[in-house]
């Protein structure tokens, strides 16, 4: 009897270990809590985003934590602007009523008019009001070059989002090369990287920012942030039928199954980190002051890389889960599986404990929970693995009960 050529769709997959491939130091701004609270008040001011589900999404994204790790040296006012922008960017489809194929251009015109003419634009659209508000605060200290790069790259973002919407409506899955070029703009990384200059009061000449090595460094950071996000968000996006993700692009173009495609993109992510390090080591000198500013900018790109690898990984994967126990190199808190089992949401159980840690403190014991609700992550932690029942997955990470 001939076997069927159709394979059942994958029901689970293993995420690549990007943590052990990234050795940049993780730094956190001391202003995190303050700006998180202020941005929350700003975002929900008046009639903005009254839907309870949108408010729940705000808390799940933990944008304040991400901002604090991507701009760790920013002063409090600058960090607030950065956090306002990133939060606004994540919610742009909710802040505008027209972020579909035809309405994206309308939203782009509204936002860009507010950016180019913050003191004379009179649009009463809430997205225009919010744009004018954060940008007026930004231009108070941002250099002319930073302002120009921010607006230009935000314009690229809207152009690429329009193309993405057209592809989605037409059911088109682009080839890998076209997707990479488009994704570098739809990610929103470019204006976010311009904020590195603003947050650190940098004034880097255009000819330096346009140097091939510095452009390659920026591109490598963009690729890592973007491609890793495609991996971590794939499950949610595929459930909505969204094909603007590198995983289905690779599966379609190269005929790979799900796990092979994830491994392929994971290797590309690791390659982008390698490329970043290689380019960083070859940067030329432009003089003491410019070199100092460039070093701060490149450190800012590294902050984005490590922030997304070490923070977006658990935030993206765990945001919709009730509890998570992760490896810290220290003793994690007392958590009972009985407590986990009573949660209404799925549970991600990270069970890699440091040497000498008494496993009984976690009171591991069988409990009723479908295996499909446990997500597996790879472990490269030096701590010895303990013998656990098969339903408990060994993994690595950091403690994240927020």
pLDDT in tens, 373-400: 333 333 344 433 333 333 333 333 322 2
The single-letter DSSP state of residue 383 is S
Better-scored residue on pLDDT, 145 or 164: 145
Check if the beta carbon of residue 81 is closer than 8 Å to that of residue 198: yes
pLDDT in tens, 16-52: 878 778 888 888 899 999 999 999 999 888 666 666 7
Better-scored residue on pLDDT, 147 or 399: 147
Task: Output the pLDDT for position 354.
Answer: 34
Strands 324-325 and 348-349: parallel
Per-residue confidence band for 216, with pLDDT thresholds at 50, 70 and 90? very high
Per-residue confidence band for 313, with pLDDT thresholds at 50, 70 and 90? low
Per-residue confidence band for 278, with pLDDT thresholds at 50, 70 and 90? very high
Question: Mean pLDDT of all residues in the chain?
Answer: 76
Domains in the chain, CATH or no CATH each: 19-318 (1.10.600.10), 321-402 (no CATH)
**Percent of the chain topping pLDDT 70:** 68
pLDDT at 333 over 50: no
* Helix ranges restricted to H, 91-143: 92-95, 104-116, 126-139
Better-scored residue on pLDDT, 53 or 5: 53
* Residue 222: how many other CB atoms lie within 10 Å: 23
Which own/partner pairs from 136-140 qualify as long-range (CB within 8 Å, at least 24 positions apart)? 137/77, 137/80, 137/81, 138/81, 138/85, 138/195, 138/198
How would DSSP label each residue in 229-245?
HHHHHHHHHHHTT---S
Check if the beta carbon of residue 43 is closer than 8 Å to that of residue 66: no
Task: Output the pLDDT for position 202.
Answer: 98
3-class DSSP state of 324: strand
pLDDT (average), residues 167-196: 93
CA 108 to chain centre: 22
Per-residue confidence band for 363, with pLDDT thresholds at 50, 70 and 90? very low
What's the rounded Cα separation, in Å, for the pair 65 and 378? 24
What's the rounded Cα separation, in Å, for the pair 321 and 375? 11
Check if the beta carbon of residue 202 is closer than 8 Å to that of residue 164: no
Element (H, E) at 52: helix 52-61
pLDDT (average), residues 130-148: 97
Task: Output the pLDDT for position 329.
Answer: 38
Beta bridge partners, 324, equal: 348
pLDDT in tens, 259-271: 899 999 999 999 9
Better-scored residue on pLDDT, 278 or 350: 278
* Helix ranges restricted to H, 117-211: 126-139, 144-170, 176-186, 189-199, 206-209
Residues contacting 390, CB < 8 A, separation 6+: none
């Amino acid at each position: 009897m001939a076997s069927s050529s159709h394979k059942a769709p994958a029901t689970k997959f293993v995420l690549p270990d990007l943590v052990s491939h990234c050795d940049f130091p993780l730094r956190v701004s001391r202003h995190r809590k303050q700006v998180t609270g202020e941005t929350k008040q700003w975002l929900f001011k008046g009639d903005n985003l009254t839907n309870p589900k949108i408010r729940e999404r705000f808390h799940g994204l933990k944008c304040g934590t991400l901002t604090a790790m991507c701009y760790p040296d920013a002063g409090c006012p600058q960090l607030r602007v950065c956090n306002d922008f990133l939060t606004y960017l994540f919610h742009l489809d909710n802040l505008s009523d027209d972020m579909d194929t035809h309405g994206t251009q309308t939203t782009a015109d509204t936002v860009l008019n507010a950016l180019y003419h913050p003191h004379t634009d009179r649009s009463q659209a809430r997205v225009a009001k919010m744009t004018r508000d954060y940008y007026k605060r930004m231009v108070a200290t941002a250099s002319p070059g930073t302002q120009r790069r921010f607006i230009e790259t935000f314009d690229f973002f809207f152009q690429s989002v329009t193309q993405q919407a057209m592809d989605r409506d037409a059911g088109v899955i682009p080839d890998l090369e076209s997707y990479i070029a488009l994704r570098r703009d739809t990610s929103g990384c470019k204006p976010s990287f311009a904020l590195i200059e603003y947050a650190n009061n940098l004034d880097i000449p255009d000819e330096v920012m346009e140097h091939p090595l510095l452009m390659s460094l920026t591109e490598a950071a963009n690729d890592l942030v973007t491609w890793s996000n495609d991996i971590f968000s794939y499950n949610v996006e595929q459930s909505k039928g969204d094909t603007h993700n590198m995983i289905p692009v690779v599966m379609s173009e190269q005929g790979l199954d799900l796990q092979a495609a994830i491994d392929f993109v994971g290797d590309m992510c690791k390659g982008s980190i390698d490329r970043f390090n290689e380019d960083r080591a070859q940067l030329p000198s432009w003089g003491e002051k410019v070199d100092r500013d460039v070093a701060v900018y490149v450190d800012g790109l590294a902050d984005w890389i490590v922030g997304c690898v070490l923070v977006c990984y658990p935030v993206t994967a765990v945001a919709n889960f009730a509890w998570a126990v992760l490896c810290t190199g220290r003793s994690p808190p007392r958590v009972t599986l009985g407590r986990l089992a009573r949660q209404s949401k799925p549970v991600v159980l990270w069970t890699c404990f440091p040497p000498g840690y008494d496993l009984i403190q976690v009171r591991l014991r069988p409990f009723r929970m479908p295996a499909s609700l446990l997500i597996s992550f790879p472990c490269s932690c030096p701590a010895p693995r303990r013998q656990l029942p098969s339903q408990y997955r060994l993994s690595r990470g950091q403690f994240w009960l927020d």
